[in-house]
Structure 1
Amino acid sequence: MSHHAAQPETRAGTHPEEHAPRKSWALLAVALAAQILVVLDISVVNTALPTIGSDLHLSGTNLQWLVTAYLMMSGGGLLLGGRIADLISRRSVFLTGLTLFTLASIGSGFANSGTQLFAARAVQGLSAALLTPSALSLITTTYAGAQRKAALALWGAVGSLGIAAGVLVGGAVTTWTNWHFIFWINGPIGLVALLVGSRIIAKQPGSHPHLRDFDLPGALAVISGLAILVYALGGTSQHGWWSAHTAIAFAASAAAFATFLKLERRADKPLFPPHVWKLNALVSGTAVMLGVTGLLVGTVFLTSIFLQTVLGFSAVKTGVAFLPFALAITVGTIVARHLLGHLSPRVIAATGLVIAVVASLALSTATSGAQFATDILPGLCALGLGVGMVFVPVSVTSMSGIPASHAGVASGFLMTGHEIGAALGVAVLSAVASTAGTLTTAAGAADAYSRGFIGAAVMAAVVAVFALVRMPATRATDGGGHLTMH
């Protein structure tokens, strides 16, 4: 891979097309196909949750683990995945991740107990942690100029749209076959992507790093911290926010994250190079990615339960009900793509988040007597539009100015925000929602939904302020600054 792909795309007054040789879109197609599988599996279980829960005898508090077991391992492992992609051939890491993901998906479909399914979902998550940063770094090191901007915009769209599409796929498959097929469907898609990818991705000279180069203690500490944090949030509905159980769990999570920071300072080759923290575009973009993905996945989680438990929708009807939401996200990404040439990324992202605040407040007014068309749909569409507007400026600006040698770890950092945001979004919003009522009864779910969306509005407002203050003020040509090579 040539290093010029990671250099600035434009200079004032010139067009990137004039400088960058065009490359085939085939690699992008394979990378996006793999990422669609990864993103679909964040939300594909949402519409199947009640069915899986009754089939495997899972309690309401355990249901969220079907979503978070996957997200925790993928989010916690992404920095390590990015590091591996930088130290070993990106092609090898991508194809290995895709193979493991496909096998773990098939294994998830064969699970016949909650424990087996949680374990298979965790392996899926670890595979995604290899797959995502290697796919994104393949894109950023292959394409340049306008092609790279278009590729990253598509990547951002897949990140949001795939989550919404997963609800429809999950609902349709669960209704027409059974929940096992929501995992088995990944088999043939993964196999085709593997065959095509092994043919079209150019071989790279692989290095032979030592085990110490990967900073495994750091990876273990960050995964532990995240797992304990999600466990603490999940336990609040059962033990209460101020119980000794919750306090000890939060303290243990904080200790694990503190250990991670201490390990990073002492490591010869830390999981994340300290000088990368100086890249404002990447760090601020990742923080916004975390917040907006949390909002999106939390919305899908709460609304799936509300539609089925309160309004009595079937799994497939719930999936269809999310179609306008998916369409609104698509419109949001198109709008943002056009605005990038005229407004700064932070203005576009903050505008999208303000729309999400208003939409969340509208959804928080829903009661047990709500009508989908008048009380849920308008707020859901507005929230989709707002969220779609955020993903594109974040994806395009965050990866700008990153040299090829650090593309994997930077990709891993950005997508860590995506996955951890998704895990924490579900955990936080369901914990906030559960303070008003249980998610397993109609009356409780209605109260919980309302409380959850007040929490979502607060989350969106905080992220909007952060985006306005910290994201790049310049237009999205390449303005991310440079990372010095060490």
Structure 2
Amino acid sequence: MGGKRNSGAGTGAESRPESGPAGERHTRWLLVVALTVQFLVSLDMSVVNVALPDIRSDLGFGGDGLLWVVNAYALAFGGLLMLGGRLADLAGPRRVLMAGLALFGLASLAGGIAWSPGSLVTARAVQGVGAAALAPVAFALITLAFPAGPARSRALGLWGMAGAAGGAVGVLAGGVLTDAAGWRSVMLVNVPIVVFALAAAVRSGPVGGQRRTGARLDVAGALLATAGTTLLVLGLVRTSEDGWGSAATLTVMGSAVILLGGFVAVELRTTSPLLRPGLLKGRPVLTANLFCLLLASAQFGAFYFVSLYMQLVLGFGPTAAGFAFLPFCVGIVVGSVLATRAVAALGIRRLMTLGGTLAALGMGWFATTATVDGGFLSSILGPSLLCSLGIGLCFVPLGTAATTDVPPGDTGMASGLLNSSRQVGGSLGLAVLVTVAAQVTGGGTGLTELSSGYAAAFWVAAGLLAAAALAAYVLLPGERGAATVEGPTDEFEERDRSTLHSER
């Protein structure tokens, strides 16, 4: 029975990972690769935001064209995540990793020398394609390289820290680099990071299982999932301009629903699905994706409004606003460290519930302190630490739940699904919170109107986080979570990890 489930994970001779210092060194390099990739992908979701005014004046963007510097990346990234995850399963994580890094690096270089609005938007879209290949691989490497238990918990904690650090450093670096070296530096800064990641990948040796022979890509499913997800993200990011009830929004969102419905129909019939329907039958996997969607909906939108509150209401400059986000990064790190130590004792259900609750309380705190006469100490520091501490507590149990009972050959699929939930959730949350804030402000631009709109957005974000905590408490099995973390690695996972270094 075990051999049947694992038959697609790889072909050819398999060997156990090297033991002793050599094997530990290769595993450490694998972790370095995964963390660097996670940092890089998160960095580029925020690093260009502060540089947008300079980009507009230098390249001559007109009208709403500047928004596509951000949206082109988000659309390609969100639309291709499922495809990137499945390619990692079929072609092997190493091939997808190297190709994704090369593509991301070349696109960053092209963006740094862009000569027109179209060339920059194209470069950002290609960056998104590379990120869609890299993000699922970063998560899959951890699940393949580390056995279930304390080692994987520590690695998942570091993975969460890398993502949080990338987002926070992106905001800070965007302001500092733009002031010091111009907007092109925020694109070119990716190049040395990519070079380091490629070198680390070479040092790590083989990364993940071997290529599946005889397996084929679900082309119809890939096209439907990519088109449907892309239209869904497009519809969400455009609601701030077109409105939820506009003909354009309804057409795009309706088309997305039709395409995604077609994707489900294809996946139920094909023998090589892009998303195995049974994957979501497991309550931990289903809950992890629902939790991730709600968490990202609140986090991404709130991140946006905290930045606006600091700059438009409190009068912070770009660099000062970037530094003001550092406590958020510190809270993520502390929460992740605590989670690696507490997950075995508390289990994933209690820890996700606790983390979601603390994050909701922190977001509610933001809502009560986002006033005209606020300041960093009175309005930013405390809420940032409490909210980020809660979010940091969630990363380790969330990663564990997302891969519970998932065969090794489907780790890329599970990772792509989780990242898609995160990306779609972030776009959805931003669209909803922008609409709420706009309705409260009523088009007013005074400090009082703006702070009231931002506070309303924070209250909605707090509700989304509370819903995530409730979902974890209700849907996750009470005893299964701790057993999953502490229990022995199953034979399928153990056999798949034995291919990590077999090509050496």
Q: TM-score, normalised by structure 2?
A: 0.83
Query: 1:73-88, aligned counterparts within 5 Å?
Result: 73-88=76-91
Structure 1, 126-135 or 62-71: larger mean CA deviation: 62-71
Query: 1:257-296, aligned counterparts within 5 Å?
Result: 257-296=260-299
What is the deviation of 1:324? 0.9
| Aligned residue number for residue 450 of structure 1 | 455
Query: 1:266-345, aligned counterparts within 5 Å?
Result: 266-345=269-348
| Aligned residue number for residue 23 of structure 1 | 24
What is the deviation of 1:54? 5.1
Structure 2: gaps spanning 5 or more residues? 7-18, 494-504
| Aligned residue number for residue 247 of structure 1 | 250
Work out whether 1:37 is the aligned partner of 2:40.
yes
8 A contact 1:100–1:124 mirrored in 2: yes
Aligned counterpart in structure 1 of residue 154 of structure 2, from 150, 154, 179: 150
What is the CA–CA distance in structure 1 between the aligned matches of 2:139 and 2:331, rounded to whole Å? 25
* Residue aligned with 1:364, SS: helix
Structure 1, 468-477 or 288-297: larger mean CA deviation: 468-477
8 A contact 2:291–2:472 mirrored in 1: yes
Query: 1:41-190, aligned counterparts within 5 Å?
Result: 41-53=44-56, 55-56=58-59, 65-145=68-148, 146-190=150-194
Work out whether 1:220 is the aligned partner of 2:223.
yes
Pair 1:233–1:406, CA change in 2 (3 A):
closer
What is the deviation of 1:58? 5.4
Structure 1, 80-89 or 432-441: larger mean CA deviation: 432-441
Which string of whole-angstrom CA distances, capped at 9 and with x for unpartnered residues, describes residues 99-154 of structure 1? 11111122222334444333222211111111122232233222224323322222
- Could you tell me which amino acid in structure 2 is paired with residue 359 of structure 1? G
Q: TM-score, normalised by structure 1?
A: 0.86
8 A contact 2:338–2:393 mirrored in 1: yes
Calculate the aligned-residue CA RMSD, in Å.
Answer: 3.1
What is the CA–CA distance in structure 1 between the aligned matches of 2:444 and 2:108, rounded to whole Å? 27
* Residue aligned with 2:182, SS: coil
- Could you tell me which amino acid in structure 2 is paired with residue 347 of structure 1? R
Pair 1:53–1:363, CA change in 2 (3 A):
farther
| Aligned residue number for residue 14 of structure 1 | none
Aligned counterpart in structure 1 of residue 382 of structure 2, from 378, 402, 414: 378
What is the deviation of 1:88? 1.1
What is the deviation of 1:343? 1.1
8 A contact 1:164–1:300 mirrored in 2: no
Which string of whole-angstrom CA distances, capped at 9 and with x for unpartnered residues, describes residues 371-409 of structure 1? 232123322222111211112210133224433222221
Aligned counterpart in structure 2 of residue 356 of structure 1, from 336, 342, 359: 359
* Residue aligned with 2:385, SS: helix
Q: Matched residue pairs, number?
A: 468
8 A contact 1:363–1:379 mirrored in 2: yes
What is the CA–CA distance in structure 2 between the aligned matches of 1:62 and 1:388, rounded to whole Å? 35
8 A contact 2:153–2:396 mirrored in 1: no
What is the CA–CA distance in structure 1 between the aligned matches of 2:362 and 2:456, rounded to whole Å? 14
| Aligned residue number for residue 472 of structure 2 | 467
Structure 1, 350-359 or 434-443: larger mean CA deviation: 434-443
Aligned counterpart in structure 2 of residue 421 of structure 1, from 395, 416, 425: 425
What is the CA–CA distance in structure 2 between the aligned matches of 1:179 and 1:438, rounded to whole Å? 33
Matched-pair identity in %: 36
Which string of whole-angstrom CA distances, capped at 9 and with x for unpartnered residues, describes residues 27-53 of structure 1? 111221122111111222233344445
Structure 1, 32-41 or 469-478: larger mean CA deviation: 469-478
What is the CA–CA distance in structure 2 between the aligned matches of 1:153 and 1:84, rounded to whole Å? 26
What is the CA–CA distance in structure 2 between the aligned matches of 1:392 and 1:464, rounded to whole Å? 15
What is the deviation of 1:242? 3.0
Structure 1, 62-71 or 285-294: larger mean CA deviation: 62-71
What is the CA–CA distance in structure 1 between the aligned matches of 2:83 and 2:109, rounded to whole Å? 24
Which string of whole-angstrom CA distances, capped at 9 and with x for unpartnered residues, describes residues 218-242 of structure 1? 2332333333333333443444333
